[in-house]
C-alpha cells in the first residue's frame, strides 16, 4: 500500500510539473509573438491552458509601451478568455466558441512630436495592408481561399476607462483626460477581427 501511495504522489507531482511547464512555455511564446509583431512587451499574470477542457485564459496582463515612450503601461487587460473547438485548430477553418476581452484601462500616450503609442501599435496592421495593396490583381484564382479561416461564435469586448496623456514641450507633466466608457458589447458569428475596430469606435463615439 505504501508503494501505491508514493506512486500516486509521484504521478500528481509530475502532472503538476508538466502543467506548470506547459503554461510557462505558452506564456513565453505569446510574449515573444507580441514583441515580434508590434514592438510592445507583455507583463503577464496567470496563464491557464486546459488539458481536458478547450479553454485558454490569461489574467492580469499589461501591454508595455516601447522604450521611446515616457510611460510604461499602454493597456491593462484583466481577462482574455478563449474557448475553442479543438479539432478545428488543426484544419483551415478554425472555430472559436467564445472570446472575452476585458480591458479596465487603455492609456493613449501623445508625445511632444505628436506620435502616439496606439498609432505605433497599429503600425504592423498598416504594413500588412500595404503589402496586400502591392500584390498583383491578376493573382491566380486557385490561390484564393487557400489560407486559414476563422469563425467566432461569440466575441465580447469590455472597455472601462480611456485615459489620454498629452505631453507638450516645456511642461514637466502631461495633461490628463479620462473618459469612462463602461462599454460592454457582444458580437455573434464573427469572421473578421475588423469588427473589434468597429466596436471600439462605437465605444468612443458613445
- CA 164 vs. chain centroid, Å, equals 21
Stated as kind and residue range, the H or E segment containing 156 is: strand 149-166
More confident residue, 206 or 33: 33
Q: How confident is the model at residue 3 (pLDDT cuts 50, 70, 90)?
A: very low
Contact (CB, 8 A) for 73 and 89: no
What's the pLDDT score for residue 114?
92
Give me the residues paired with residue 176 across strands: 165
For residue range 5-39, list pLDDT tens digits in order: 344 444 444 444 444 566 777 778 888 888 887 88
> Buried b vs exposed e over 53-78: b needs ≥16 C-beta within 10 Å?
ebebebeebbbbbeeebeeebbbbbb
* Predicted model pTM: 0.73
The length of the chain in residues reads 206
pLDDT digits (tens, 9 = 90+) for 49-73: 776 788 888 899 999 999 999 999 9
Count Cα atoms within 13 angstroms, Cβ side, for 198: 10
Res 6: pLDDT: 44
Q: What is the mean pLDDT of the chain?
A: 77
Amino acid at each position: 500500500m505504501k508503494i501505491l501511495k508514493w506512486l500516486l504522489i509521484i504521478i500528481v507531482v509530475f502532472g503538476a510539473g508538466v502543467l506548470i511547464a506547459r503554461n510557462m512555455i505558452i506564456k513565453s511564446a505569446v510574449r515573444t509573438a507580441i514583441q515580434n509583431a508590434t514592438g510592445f512587451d507583455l507583463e503577464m499574470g496567470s496563464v491557464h491552458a486546459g488539458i481536458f477542457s478547450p479553454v485558454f485564459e490569461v489574467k492580469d496582463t499589461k501591454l508595455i509601451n516601447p522604450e521611446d515612450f515616457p510611460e510604461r503601461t499602454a493597456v491593462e487587460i484583466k481577462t482574455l478568455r478563449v474557448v475553442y473547438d479543438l479539432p478545428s485548430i488543426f484544419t483551415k477553418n478554425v472555430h472559436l466558441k467564445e472570446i472575452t476581452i476585458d480591458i479596465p484601462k487603455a492609456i493613449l500616450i501623445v508625445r511632444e512630436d505628436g506620435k502616439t503609442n496606439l498609432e505605433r501599435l497599429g503600425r504592423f496592421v498598416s504594413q500588412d495592408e500595404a503589402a496586400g495593396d502591392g500584390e498583383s490583381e491578376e493573382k491566380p484564382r486557385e490561390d484564393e481561399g487557400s489560407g486559414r479561416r476563422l469563425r467566432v461564435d461569440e466575441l465580447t469586448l469590455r472597455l472601462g476607462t480611456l485615459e489620454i496623456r498629452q505631453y507638450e514641450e516645456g511642461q514637466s507633466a502631461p495633461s490628463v483626460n479620462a473618459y469612462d466608457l463602461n462599454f460592454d458589447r457582444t458580437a455573434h458569428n464573427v469572421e473578421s477581427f475588423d469588427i473589434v475596430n468597429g466596436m471600439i469606435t462605437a465605444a468612443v463615439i458613445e
